[in-house]
Structure 1
Amino acid sequence: MKVHCYNILLFSLLLHRLLLSSSKVNIEMNHHNTPHIKNREPTKSYKSLCECELYTYIYDDDPDMKEIMNDFDRKTSQRFEEYNERMNKNRQKCKEQCDRDIQNIILKDKIAKELKQQLTTLETNIDTHDIPTCVCEKSVADKVEKACLKCGYSLGGAVPELGLLCGNGAYELVQIAITAGVASAKKAAIEAGTQAGIQAAIQGLTNKLYIPTLNGQLLSAFINANNFKNPYFFSGPIIGEYIDMSRVGIDKLNGILRFIHDQFSGDLGKIMESISATSSDIAKEAGQVAERVTAETTEVLTVQKTAEATSASAIFSNPIKKKNE
């Protein structure tokens, strides 16, 4: 009976094992033999525009992106502004140069027309005493006389009215008058610039340091053409006045000196440095004002003197006298 029970158990185990193995084989076979339907639609390897979100702004709320865009806009606008400034300066320079060229062309044309008109209407009965002479500059008079006589020798027979005063002689007189006019314009411009610089120095000392006098003298009597650009000439007397007044007593200080003393707590080194720096600024500004006024006045007076010297009436009346004036 025991033998039969063992056989029955073994048989059931074998049967169970066989059943499990057969089911596994069927599953694997069914897995590999699964039928597939062929895809007849072509597979796309790209994404079309209609599938993309074109109008989404993913960086609108990104602070880093906003900072980058703002920095880019700032640098771009700054470069455009610098470019516009350079272009405006170049345009202004070109305009000024064009205006000067046009004025020179008009002036030359006017001189040529007036000279031509005067030469055509010149009287023939010219006496040698009618030719102007200069008593103050003998060399210039000799030069003019030789040039005119040389022209008279060659052209006197063909053109009687040009016997003593020809085109070359007139040109020589014009050049002499222009040179004298330019020199006179420069001299007058330097004087005007110096006066403007002196006034600027006086105004700077009055407005910045509130000092009406220096060394007991009025600023107008103390400052002149030799010292208005010298910063040490201003700072030395001011520092000396501060030291003298501080020796008498701090209470004697008034105005800007008292303010400087209180600001630097009586530190003499810092006080001297402050006064020297302010004096240097005043002298520098005065020098710049003098240079600017000199340049502007030179340009204006040069044009004026040149126009006076090149006018036909001045040439044929008494050019050497015009030069001396």
Structure 2
Amino acid sequence: NKPSITPHHTPITASRVLSECDIDTSIYGNDPEMKSVKENFDRQTSERFEEYDERMKDKRQKRKEERDKNIQGIIEKDKMDKSLAEKVEKGCLRCGCGLGGVAASVGIFGSLGTYGWKVAATATVYETAKKAGIQAGIDAVIGKIKTTEAFTNIWKIELSKFINESNYNSISGLVKAIEDVVTTNGKTCPAYGTSMNRVCNAISTHSNYWLGQVAESGKQAAAAATESVKTTELGEVTVASTHLYSAIGYSVTAILIIVLVMVIIYLILRYR
């Protein structure tokens, strides 16, 4: 007789099939470890966003300081040029005033010369204001692009080589400029599967949305800077021309006094 190999116990197998109520029940809802993980994730995410905001504030401040520095440089250069012209003009006017003791025509020619200088100085102010406005607009556009998420992959590129006075204030001009940026980096739009794909998508299918606000920021910055420079510089021109007219007036008055004294002396000697 062979020994029996049939087991005399019934194996107990634990069923791992989920019931309907198990599916609807979260096993993590009250898990302390999962709660801790979630809290850590939320805290780290908040910290990252705060750090990002701080970096953006620093970048905006640095760009503003750089833009103000560029505008100030243009104004200083213009002041130097204008100061030289002003010195020459004042020197000529002083010569005329010095000879005015014997020439009553100084009043007429001095006024005409001052008027001519004022016209030339005003034209120079408008030209300087225009240049300062363009530079401010370009700086504003570059700053806006470098804070726009769609253009993250070109933030580190020197955009001033591509954005200039001919394209900074129009959507089509900015599209072409960014296409040149992409091309310079060895890519061509559309750039599927590359780091430039998002940039290409932004300028090809959503250019009005992304670049419309960029161009508008450039226009506003240019207008504000132009008006600011014009107001400041024209005020200085007005003050300078007023001083020149005053000098001419004093010279004419001195001439009249000399003539009057000479007439009085003549009359005294004649009727003595």
TM-score for both structures, normalised by structure 2: 0.41
Q: Which of the pair has the greater relative contact order for Cα pairs under 8 Å at 6+ separation?
A: 2
Q: Which has the larger radius of gyration?
A: 1
